[in-house]
Amino acid sequence: MSNEISHRKRPKGSEEKRSAILDAAVTVFSRKGFANARIEDIARQAGIGKGTVYLYFPDKESLFKSLVASAVEPILEHADRFLSEEDTSPRETMTTVYDMIDTHILQSEKRHIIRLMITEMSYFPDIAAYYHTNIVSRGLDLLRKLLIRADARGELRSQHALKVPQMVFAPVVMSVIWNALFARFESIDTHAAFQFYLDSLFQSADGA
Amino acid sequence: MSNEISHRKRPKGSEEKRSAILDAAVTVFSRKGFANARIEDIARQAGIGKGTVYLYFPDKESLFKSLVASAVEPILEHADRFLSEEDTSPRETMTTVYDMIDTHILQSEKRHIIRLMITEMSYFPDIAAYYHTNIVSRGLDLLRKLLIRADARGELRSQHALKVPQMVFAPVVMSVIWNALFARFESIDTHAAFQFYLDSLFQSADGA
Amino acid sequence: MSNEISHRKRPKGSEEKRSAILDAAVTVFSRKGFANARIEDIARQAGIGKGTVYLYFPDKESLFKSLVASAVEPILEHADRFLSEEDTSPRETMTTVYDMIDTHILQSEKRHIIRLMITEMSYFPDIAAYYHTNIVSRGLDLLRKLLIRADARGELRSQHALKVPQMVFAPVVMSVIWNALFARFESIDTHAAFQFYLDSLFQSADGA
Amino acid sequence: MSNEISHRKRPKGSEEKRSAILDAAVTVFSRKGFANARIEDIARQAGIGKGTVYLYFPDKESLFKSLVASAVEPILEHADRFLSEEDTSPRETMTTVYDMIDTHILQSEKRHIIRLMITEMSYFPDIAAYYHTNIVSRGLDLLRKLLIRADARGELRSQHALKVPQMVFAPVVMSVIWNALFARFESIDTHAAFQFYLDSLFQSADGA
DNA sequence: CATGAATGAGGTTTCATTCAT
DNA sequence: GATGAATGAAACCTCATTCAT
């Protein structure tokens, strides 16, 4: 909706402008990567002047970090709520989580931000630290609990899953990376990946 | 092993020096990423002068591409051979493949190169095209055959796997990325990931 | 004179600055030649920063070409007008042309640019092609007509002149080159050269 | 004979090699200009190693200067002899000189060196000084005497010629420069230029 | 607030020159 | 003597950032 190539008309309100810059940044960072993105391109894409970017973000790195934050924070709230639900079956919970991820990340412009996190975060150790502490490790804790609950109910197919809860994210990561590198040549069936994972993680309580 | 009659005119220590530059390049590219790696740093790391790098590689991009090639090409030969074996059970074959990957990539310095491929390749579309054609799509073909054979033998656990053979690489990709971003904070149990995958893909022929 | 509505978006002092850069470029290119002139020297000479040069000219070569164009284009307009005059005697016309060249080129800073054209143009084949097509061959055509008209009026001294109209430029070229190489040691009497040429080309109609 | 593009077989004798380097230098300097000629190209063209050039010439500049010297010195000897002849008519003498120049310079590879002198000498003030003192001013003296002698015999057409003896070289300079810049597009009739000059300088003693 | 002209640090690449073999 | 691998100074050009308007 807002990531055409055309230069949009000047946004007015201050918060709107901040958000226009972030939108433009996703586009440009996605296309070029952090190092090759020019602030001037982001400004033009946002329909504002180059100097204006610096009224909203102190420097290029902060802009990138804000971008990541703007994408990740809303996700966390949802996740928190759903993963803690204990009155639904683990498979149902996980199905819901995957649906949410599919809808709110993979199908939205946010998938670009997730890709940028994956490809650029190793060069921003402080971002990595921040998100590990605040998001990843908390997410893994919730997942571990979910898997343990599934195991207790006899629904966990492989004990190995308990040792690598990170793999639950594999369909997301693989989908994002595959599309970044090879979408031009060959698509990846993300839904099948989710289904495959649900089948891999869970079985009905009778072991079938 | 790499001491054949050299292709070009460079004398004696030449191939060793080329190697030294590539080794230095892994280190520096890994630490800084392609864009932030300075040729001068690579040269210093290799213990040579800045200009010397250009005697072996025409420019920074070629150096990077050669680096990727040097890591990937040997892998392909092995993979080809093993995946085509038809007289072993699919699970055994896959186990061997995972072992090979673990030994030759994840446990070696090559894991850094694989990470660089994943994180930088989207900015080198021609590398992506080359490796998709020559490696990835061929690998997927072999995997598809393997999975179909497993299915024919009643050993494939989920039909969904057939639609996303890419997911077979998930343990490798996840391991590499996790370690790049979060190894400092929390390890990932790569072996458990492989086991989980084998359990997910295959069941004994009687469905157990 | 150069204060029309400017083509691009550069505001107020912009055309002045472009001019200042071109002026500085004449000085530095003249002193050092194209290859040995450093952009930084030109910038310093113009009283601006190195990067500023690149706001006005995309690269060093373009700067050089613009420099040549800025000197040559105004000349052409004049020349066109005068050489086509058919109601004055050829000798008078040629006298006027030589006067114009003397005033507007040899006595002005433009003589440096003409020298640069002569000394550097062989390394810019596209400049040579452009100026041959647009200036030199057109100038020669006009000169040929002039000489033929003189011949028809019985005023051409030597038929050989018709075969090498290029020699009409000899006083200019010789003067520019002599001064570039030997002005320090010995002057060249440019006016005598022009007079010699007029005497060589033309005689009164009665053959005297 | 010796300016093909192919890499010749190794010359052996020391003087031969010096001369091979000079031959190669003409070719390469002509094609690229002083600044853009690479020592390595000259060496390859001469069929020797890069370092070998430095056994014969201390640096690039010296090589260039030696090149010019090798072309100019032999010319001087001839010129001296002919111009001083007083028992032939000035026009005959000048005709001979022009013939010599045509044969030994314009028709030979030396024309490239003359061009290089013209185009590069302004950036080598010491070369200019040397040749002005030793060649140009001496040549002009001889020419002045010749013209005065012609005048005394009533054979000088225009008194202006006495004031700009430099113009006697105009056909040479114009021919060399024209060919350097525009030979691809349009030729210059050098012989007509010489004839035009002889007609311009001299008349028969009776004024015809 | 907004702008974009101006700046100069920084990185890539070239190539004259050296020197160990 | 001859070589060419190695070097690093030097120059082009880019772009994040500043600041006068």
Contact C192 D128 (CB under 8 A): no
* CA atoms of B144 and B132, how far apart (whole Å): 16
The 8-class DSSP code of residue A170 comes to H
Residues of C in contact with D116 (CB under 8 A): none
Banded pLDDT at A30 (limits 50, 70, 90): very high
Percent of chain D at pLDDT > 90 equals 68
The topology under which CATH files domain B64-201 is: Tetracycline Repressor; domain 2 (1.10.357)
pLDDT at B175: 96
Contact D199 C199 (CB under 8 A): no
Determine which of A56-60, B48-52, B200-204, D180-184 has the lowest per-residue pLDDT on average: B200-204
A156 bridge partner residues: A202
Which residue in D30, D167, D189, D206 has the most chain C C-beta atoms within 10 A of its own C-beta, making it the best mutation to test that interface? D167
User: C109-150: per-residue pLDDT in tens?
Assistant: 899 999 999 999 988 999 999 999 988 998 899 899 999 999
A10 pLDDT above the threshold of 70: no
Banded pLDDT at B85 (limits 50, 70, 90): low
Stretch A30-45: mean pLDDT: 95
Quote the distance between the C-alpha of residue A151 and its chain's center. 27
Say which residues have a Cβ less than 8 Å from residue B164's Cβ, sequence separation at least 6: A188, A189, A190, A192, A193, A196
B2 pLDDT above the threshold of 80: no
C3 pLDDT above the threshold of 50: no
pLDDT winner (highest mean) among B11-15, D6-10, D173-177: D173-177
Which residue in B68, B122, B126, B186 has the most chain A C-beta atoms within 10 A of its own C-beta, making it the best mutation to test that interface? B122
Mean per-residue pLDDT over chain A, rounded: 88
The topology under which CATH files domain A68-201 is: Tetracycline Repressor; domain 2 (1.10.357)
D196 pLDDT above the threshold of 80: yes
A103 bridge partner residues: none
The topology under which CATH files domain D60-201 is: Tetracycline Repressor; domain 2 (1.10.357)
Alpha helices in chain C (DSSP H): 14-32, 39-46, 50-56, 60-84, 90-101, 110-120, 125-131, 137-152, 160-163, 170-182, 190-201
Q: Is D86 helix (H, G, I), strand (E, B) or coil?
A: coil
**From the CA of C147, how many Å to the nearest CA of chain D?**
13
Banded pLDDT at B84 (limits 50, 70, 90): low
Q: Which residue is nearest to nucleotide E15 (CA to C1')?
A: D38
Say which residues have a Cβ less than 8 Å from residue B101's Cβ, sequence separation at least 6: B172
D4 pLDDT above the threshold of 60: no
D204 pLDDT above the threshold of 80: no
A47 pLDDT above the threshold of 50: yes
B207 pLDDT above the threshold of 90: no
Question: Where do the structural domains in chain B lie, given as residue ranges?
Answer: 10-57, 64-201
Covered bases, chain F (protein CB within 7 Å): 1-20
> In this predicted model, which residue has the larger pLDDT, C149 or B73?
C149
Percent of chain C at pLDDT > 70 equals 88
The topology under which CATH files domain A14-56 is: Arc Repressor Mutant, subunit A (1.10.10)
User: B121-167: per-residue pLDDT in tens?
Assistant: 988 999 999 999 988 898 899 899 999 999 999 999 999 999 999 99
Stretch A185-198: mean pLDDT: 95
pLDDT at C10: 40
**From the CA of C29, how many Å to the nearest CA of chain D?**
11
Residues of D in contact with C32 (CB under 8 A): 123
Residues of C in contact with D120 (CB under 8 A): 33, 119
Q: Phi/psi of residue B159, each to 5°?
A: -60, -25
pLDDT at B205: 61
User: C17-41: per-residue pLDDT in tens?
Assistant: 999 999 999 999 999 999 999 999 9
pLDDT at D75: 75
Contact A174 B170 (CB under 8 A): yes
Architecture of the CATH domain C10-57: Orthogonal Bundle (1.10)
What is the number of other CB atoms lying within 10 angstroms of the CB of residue C38? 12
Chains C–D, number of C-beta pairs less than 8 Å apart? 149
Angle in degrees, CA D142, D147, D148, rounded to 5:
95
Residues of D in contact with C35 (CB under 8 A): 33-36
Handedness of CA A109, A111, A114, A115 (dihedral sign): negative
pLDDT at B4: 41
pLDDT at A205: 62
- Length C142 CA → E16 C1' (Å): 48
Banded pLDDT at B83 (limits 50, 70, 90): low
pLDDT at D114: 92
Determine which of A80-89, A165-174, A184-193, D139-148 has the lowest per-residue pLDDT on average: A80-89
pLDDT at B73: 80
The 8-class DSSP code of residue B136 comes to I
The topology under which CATH files domain C70-201 is: Tetracycline Repressor; domain 2 (1.10.357)
- Length D49 CA → F3 C1' (Å): 6
Token pair for residue C192?
């005598």
Token pair for residue B15?
């191939």
Token pair for residue D155?
């054979």
A53 C-beta less than 7 Å away from strand E: no
Contact B196 A160 (CB under 8 A): yes
Stretch D125-154: mean pLDDT: 91
C65 pLDDT above the threshold of 50: yes
Q: Which of B164, B188, B190 sits opposite A193 (nearest CB)?
A: B164
pLDDT at B3: 42
Percent of chain C at pLDDT > 90 equals 68
Residues of D in contact with C203 (CB under 8 A): none
* CA atoms of B113 and B118, how far apart (whole Å): 9
pLDDT at D13: 73
Banded pLDDT at A149 (limits 50, 70, 90): very high
The 8-class DSSP code of residue A13 comes to S
pLDDT at C22: 96
Mean per-residue pLDDT over chain C, rounded: 88
Q: Phi/psi of residue B88, each to 5°?
A: -110, 160
Token pair for residue B178?
């996790």
D200 pLDDT above the threshold of 70: yes
Covered bases, chain E (protein CB within 7 Å): 1-20
pLDDT at C47: 95
**Cα end-to-end span (Å), chain B:** 46
Determine which of A3-7, B91-95, C105-109, C153-157 has the lowest per-residue pLDDT on average: A3-7
D185 pLDDT above the threshold of 50: yes
Strands (DSSP E) contained in B32-131 are: none
